[in-house]
Structure 1
Amino acid sequence: ISERKIYSIICDETRDESGKEQLCFTIRSVDNDFIIYEDVLGIYMIISQSAADITEVILDIICRCNLNIKDCRGQGYDGAPSMAGHISGVAARIQRLCRKAFFVHCNAHSLDLSLQDLTSTSSSISTALNITNDIINFIKDSPKRLNLLDTLTDLNNYTQLKPLCPHRWTVRASSINSLLINYSLVKTALTEIGEEGGHPAPKANALTEQMDKFSTYFGLKLGE
């Protein structure tokens, strides 16, 4: 990276399973033959999601890698105010140190936002997404219910249910597909849970009723 000198930075913050905030830091650069390189330098713990703290972490990483902030020519983040804010966001803070470090809203994030806006206009898809989230959370929140799925089918034919990600559409599609593949299996499991009675029964019966509707399956196929 130091040999190529000019670079851009790509960052995204996320929360791990333990609830700790982390920052994924990537350097994008190009050599004299116009070959593009993207090097993920690591995932770093951040104490908060404030612009000041994230900027401090970014500058520390750049310093440790013996890079000069003045050689930065681009910044790629999501559209969160702490990152993209034009006054006190990370992008603005970095650009005050290097005027040529222009900010570009992450294309993948922009696409996700566009798809979310698009699907919000379709009641069929919106309803299907909500039902998908309810069903998968209901199943995965209980080891007993997960074990029930295992006992109802050969494990080789069972595709694990994937949680519905609220931000990334590609992950949402995987979640929808996992439910569609296991549609009959999940419906059978919910029916058995409802027949057993007890506290989960009303919820299971309500979800089974939703899965019986054509509009639910149709919405899932639209969002697939």
Structure 2
Amino acid sequence: MRDEIRRAYIKAGPYQPILSEYPASNSKKHPRYFQPLWFKQFSWLEYSPSKDAVFCLPCFLFNSNPTSRFGSSAFTNNGFSNWKKVHDGCNCAFLTHMGKDPNSLHNNAQRAYVDLMNQAQHIEVSLDRQTTQQISANRLRLKTSIDVVRWLSFRGCAFRGHDESLGSKNRGNFLELLSLLASYDEKVEDVLKSAPQNASYTSSKIQKEILQIYANRVRNVIREEIGDRKFSIIVDEARDESKKEQMAIILRFVDKQGQVKERFFDIVHVKDTASLTLKNVIFKVLLQHSFDIQNIRGQGYDGASNMRGEFNGLQALILNDCRYAYYVHCFAHRLQLALVAAAREVVEVHQFFKDLSDIVNIASASSKRHDELQKAQAAEISRLVSINELAT
């Protein structure tokens, strides 16, 4: 019999039913009955109501080869039901079955029974302890990575390094900050060093997943803040360093206190800058977060033809679906256009920006000239401070 089956029997324990009345023996003159108090005297007893007989659970589990000794199989296969012999003093059948020899079949089976029971308990406790320790270590390992991601993302710092190998002197901000935290906390250092390869929680994939979770939580907060109120969208797109076209979406609304708020909501990669593509992406982002498109009350873009076009521009396409989403040319872009136009018309202003550009180019082209400029600037600041023209 396999140990797994034996453990199941041991876990269930001997079957010891307490009945209101037990069957009488075949003797009509002196009928005898099974006594439930025998369960307390002999804990190994099992009683079978269908056979009106008792068995020995340890011997049943561990004595698979009974000897030729008389009655050796009575408590394992056939069952014992001669209740008269139980009351036979020193010759009690139960005591005879147990035997006086410490190495009797029953005593050996009893020891094996107890050993296996203790072994099972030890294994379960050990597994529980190891599982609890592993869970605590995984949580601490993950919490450390989350804290590092939060610190770097809130300050706009880069995560990755050009060389993140163990021998690198600069493995990137994320891994270097992890090492710094570990140097101040022995528990963190231990769990990071003992981390299995499939659960270190430091890979670039884990970093992106943590960032994505943060982004989703921020967007959910913004969504709850807006609720069912009316809002406007401000959109601009630009090409990043990897030559991908990215579109930023900002939501502008009035909160419960009547304050105008602007919230950066998402940045999305777009395959091109066609007005229909931009419209579909904007609507997809808003619908993913259960925004009602009909609540849009304004659009703010730059003056490019694909954005402000009267018939096929982005503002026209959105206005066709949202009749109150009026377009406003972005004031920052308008100010820039006004300044450029003014600078071209006024000779002094044009010459000022030209001279400023030449100074920057000349100073930045040579480290020596750059140092001389800083030295001259420091001397000028000292002079202004000495005559109380500049406060410190």
Secondary structure of 1:49's partner?
coil
- CA separation of 1:21 and 1:147: change in aligned 2, threshold 3 A: farther
Aligned to 1:25: 249
Aligned to 2:337: 113
Aligned to 2:231: 7
Q: Is this contact kept in 2: 1:4–1:29, CA < 8 A? A: no
Alignment of 1:71 onto 2:295: yes
Q: Whose strand proportion is higher, 1 or 2?
A: 1
- CA separation of 1:21 and 1:124: change in aligned 2, threshold 3 A: farther
Q: C-alpha displacement at 1:121, in angstroms?
A: 0.5
Q: C-alpha displacement at 1:72, in angstroms?
A: 0.6
The TM-score normalised by the length of structure 1 is 0.59
Q: C-alpha displacement at 1:23, in angstroms?
A: 1.4
Q: Is this contact kept in 2: 1:51–1:89, CA < 8 A? A: yes
Aligned to 2:328: 104
Alignment match of 1:37 (pick from 261, 264, 280): 261
Q: C-alpha displacement at 1:111, in angstroms?
A: 1.6
Alignment of 1:89 onto 2:300: no
After superposition, what is the alpha-carbon deviation per residue over 1:34-73, rounded to whole angstroms, capped at 9, x for unaligned? 2222110122222222212221221121122221211111
Aligned to 2:283: 59
Q: Structure 2 CA distance, aligned partners of 1:9 and 1:22?
A: 16
Q: Structure 2 CA distance, aligned partners of 1:123 and 1:154?
A: 29
Percent of paired sites with the same residue? 31
- CA separation of 1:139 and 1:96: change in aligned 2, threshold 3 A: farther
- CA separation of 1:41 and 1:117: change in aligned 2, threshold 3 A: same
Aligned to 2:273: 49
Q: Structure 1 CA distance, aligned partners of 2:350 and 2:374?
A: 32
Q: Structure 2 CA distance, aligned partners of 1:128 and 1:154?
A: 21
The TM-score normalised by the length of structure 2 is 0.35
Q: Structure 2 CA distance, aligned partners of 1:46 and 1:108?
A: 23
Calculate the aligned-residue CA RMSD, in Å: 2.8
Q: Which has the larger radius of gyration?
A: 2
- Across the two proteins, how many residue pairs are aligned to each other? 155
Q: Is this contact kept in 1: 2:363–2:373, CA < 8 A? A: no
Amino acid at match of 1:45: H
Flag structure 1 segments of 5+ consecutive residues without an equivalent. 159-180, 182-224
Flag structure 2 segments of 5+ consecutive residues without an equivalent. 1-222, 382-392
